[in-house]
Amino acid sequence: MRTRRSVRRPAPALAALLLAAALALTGCSAGDDASGGSNSAADHGADDKAVSGEAATGGSGAKATAPPKLAASHIIRTASLTVQVKDVPKALEQARTGTENAGGYVGNESTTRDAEGHERTRVVLRVPVEKYDEVLAELEGTGKLLDRSAKAEDVTDQVVDVESRITTQRASVARIRELMDRATKLSDVVTLEGELSTRQADLESLLARQKSLKDRTSLATITMSLSETPVKKAAKDDDPGFVDALAGGWSAFVTMLRWLAVAFGAVLPFAAVAALIVLLWLRVVRPRLPRRPAPAPTATALGPLPTARPAPEAAQPPAPGERD
């Protein structure tokens, strides 16, 4: 404060010695510079405020006009192809190369050969969902397309549910661990350890399911069958006629005879054993048994009942030599 007072005191004396014209010119130039500086500062301040206002307005407008983010869909895509080719190994190598170039890989693969020497191959290809249509079109062009089927299953609800349950289960496991850190009794620690093991097992199960869903939604599955001969299609079912009814009745009759033969074959050993036992009883055991005595005549009040007399034998004619 003293320094400023010392500077301000000689100012009137110096101002009195200066020329009026010089003071006038200096005052004008200083006034112009000061006014220009103040105006430029004000303009810059106004510009800064305008820029900040526009940024704020633009930001709020962007937030207001920005469309809401749609929930990502999780779709499991599968397809099945049957293609007739001239050379199965060559077509298989082409399919394998196209799948690997798309970022996928070859899964299960099986090859068979019929009696005529024609090869048939069935291969499972896993390709990224982004390359699904491209790879599918490329595989269809390897030969003559005989059959094609595609399926898309939306599992977004399952993915969201699993993620929510995983979050809840992790929080539950964390709470159990906090309680274990605070537990002082051995019984409480043992109980909490059992509960922690159960909840961790549930969490691992949910994580495995989440991994499976992620794999199935991120990679499409294409099952491709390659053959050198056309695949025989099943005949169309027509209305049954007399011949069909006769064939069905004969088949039912043969089936019934077959079952009767099976039943007879199952019963035959038991019947043979039973017949052998009966034969032994009649021929060996029964003759050796003691016979029961004849029953005595029953007596009544009038005396014993008369016994039956044998019938008189018929008189036989005399022989020719014995005649008189």
Helices 132-140 and 88-101: crossing angle in degrees, nearest 10, is 160
What are the percentages of helix, strand and coil residues in the chain, rounded to 5?
A: 60, 15, 25
pLDDT in tens, the chain (324 residues): 344 444 444 444 444 444 344 444 444 444 444 444 444 434 444 444 443 444 344 444 444 444 444 445 789 999 999 999 988 889 999 999 999 999 999 988 888 888 777 888 999 999 999 999 999 999 988 889 999 999 999 999 999 999 999 999 999 999 999 998 888 888 888 998 999 999 999 999 999 999 999 999 999 999 999 988 765 554 455 566 777 788 888 888 889 888 999 888 888 899 889 999 988 888 888 777 777 666 655 555 555 555 555 555 555 555 555 554
Torsion angles phi and psi, residue 246, rounded to 5: -65, -45
Q: What is the pLDDT of residue 43?
A: 45
Q: What is the pLDDT of residue 250?
A: 87
Q: What is the pLDDT of residue 203?
A: 93
Strands 303-304 vs 105-113: parallel, antiparallel or unpaired: unpaired
CB burial of residue 203 (10 Å; 0-12, 13-18, 19+):
middle
Contact 180, 192 (CB under 8 A): yes
What is the CB neighbour count within 10 angstroms for residue 104?
Answer: 21
Q: What is the pLDDT of residue 72?
A: 59
Buried b (16+ CB within 10 A) or exposed e, 106-137: eeeeeeeeeeeeebbbebebbbeeebbeebbe
The C-alpha atoms of residue 90 and residue 237 are separated, in whole angstroms, by 37
The C-alpha atoms of residue 268 and residue 186 are separated, in whole angstroms, by 72
The C-alpha atoms of residue 127 and residue 229 are separated, in whole angstroms, by 27
Q: What is the pLDDT of residue 309?
A: 58
> By three-state DSSP, how is residue 78 classified?
strand
Contact 82, 148 (CB under 8 A): yes
What is the CB neighbour count within 10 angstroms for residue 78?
Answer: 15
Would you put residue 31 in left (φ > 0), alpha (ψ -120 to 50) or beta?
A: alpha
Cα distances from 269 to residues 89, 264, 272, 273, 276, in angstroms, run 58, 9, 5, 6, 11
Cα distances from 294 to residues 244, 291, 297, 310, in angstroms, run 72, 9, 9, 16
- The pTM for the full model equals 0.47
Q: What is the pLDDT of residue 294?
A: 61
